[in-house]
């Protein structure tokens, strides 16, 4: 049986993905292909490269992704992802989709054409991941072969479509449910909450496409832009996955 794993975007809530991956490892459930958007693409890439969930957690907490964001001060975004790209290359030096242990699909949005673009081959792995993580208006678009790419979650936060015809069982992990309680204190907050609500809605519409859907309960209460509660999100993902997989055990018999 060929298993496809889809990891949503969600900022630092991606630590929930790591908890889910730990649970799958313990249950000896190995994905044959992974598709991810934004934080899901970063977690998926490091896992596909052979790092364990605990090692990925340590990498992110030790290096501090936020500490590797570079001020850009240009009209396309406040921050640049250049340092994050170099960080990814440090841990995946081959920088190639083909060198990964597990095939990976990265969802991005080509902003000038307004099109969804999937990367799954080539020696541009780090750029594809940083593009998928580039939140619009916050991060400058990432240029790949002359085209401008931003967060893949804008158009597809649960990118199941590129793998659904290639697998027998589809497992989805959504760490970005619909955002309703995010406080609004500024124009920036209004823009961000509108984006988060829209992404949450389009993610919810994908639920029926999965054979197994893992959505860590109450993960919405954690700030997706902070690493403060990383371990709690990790643990929540783990416990939710263990419970969900026990209910779905018959699918693996």
Q: Is 25 a catalytic residue?
A: no
Burial 33-43 (b: 16+ CB within 10 A, else e): bbbbbbbbbbb
Which uninterrupted H or E stretch holds 179?
none
Q: How far apart (Å, rounded) are the C-alpha atoms in residues 4 and 210?
A: 10
Among candidate residues 12, 80, 148, 151, the one labeled active-site is 151
**Tokens, residue 112:** 């000038």
Q: How far apart (Å, rounded) are the C-alpha atoms in residues 20 and 235?
A: 9
Q: Could you tell me if 116 and 155 are in contact, meaning their C-beta atoms sit under 8 angstroms apart?
A: yes
Q: How far apart (Å, rounded) are the C-alpha atoms in residues 37 and 6?
A: 9
Q: Is 194 a catalytic residue?
A: no
Among candidate residues 8, 35, 38, 148, the one labeled active-site is 38
Residues that are catalytic: 38, 151
């Amino acid at each position: 049986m060929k298993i496809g794993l889809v990891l949503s975007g969600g900022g630092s809530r991606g630590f929930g993905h790591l908890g889910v991956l730990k649970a799958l490892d313990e249950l000896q459930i190995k994905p044959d292909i992974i598709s991810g958007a934004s934080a899901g693409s970063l977690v998926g890439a490091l896992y596909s490269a052979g790092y364990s969930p605990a090692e990925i957690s340590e990498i992110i907490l030790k290096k501090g992704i936020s500490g590797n964001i570079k001020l850009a001060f240009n009209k396309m975004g406040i921050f640049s992802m250049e340092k994050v790209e170099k960080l990814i290359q440090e841990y995946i030096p081959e920088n190639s989709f083909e060198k990964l242990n597990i095939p990976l699909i990265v969802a991005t949005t080509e902003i000038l054409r307004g099109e969804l673009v999937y990367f799954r081959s080539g020696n541009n792995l780090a750029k594809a991941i940083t593009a998928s993580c580039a939140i619009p208006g916050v991060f400058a678009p990432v240029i790949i072969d002359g085209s401008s790419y931003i967060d893949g979650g804008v158009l597809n936060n649960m990118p199941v479509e590129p793998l659904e015809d290639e697998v027998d069982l589809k497992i989805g992990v959504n760490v970005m449910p619909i955002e309703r309680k995010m406080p609004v204190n500024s124009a920036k907050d209004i823009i961000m909450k509108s984006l988060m609500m829209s992404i949450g809605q389009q993610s919810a519409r994908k639920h029926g496409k999965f054979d197994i859907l893992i959505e860590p309960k109450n993960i919405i209460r954690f700030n997706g832009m902070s690493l403060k509660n990383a371990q709690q999100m990790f643990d929540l993902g783990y416990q939710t996955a263990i419970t969900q997989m026990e209910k779905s055990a018959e699918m693996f018999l």
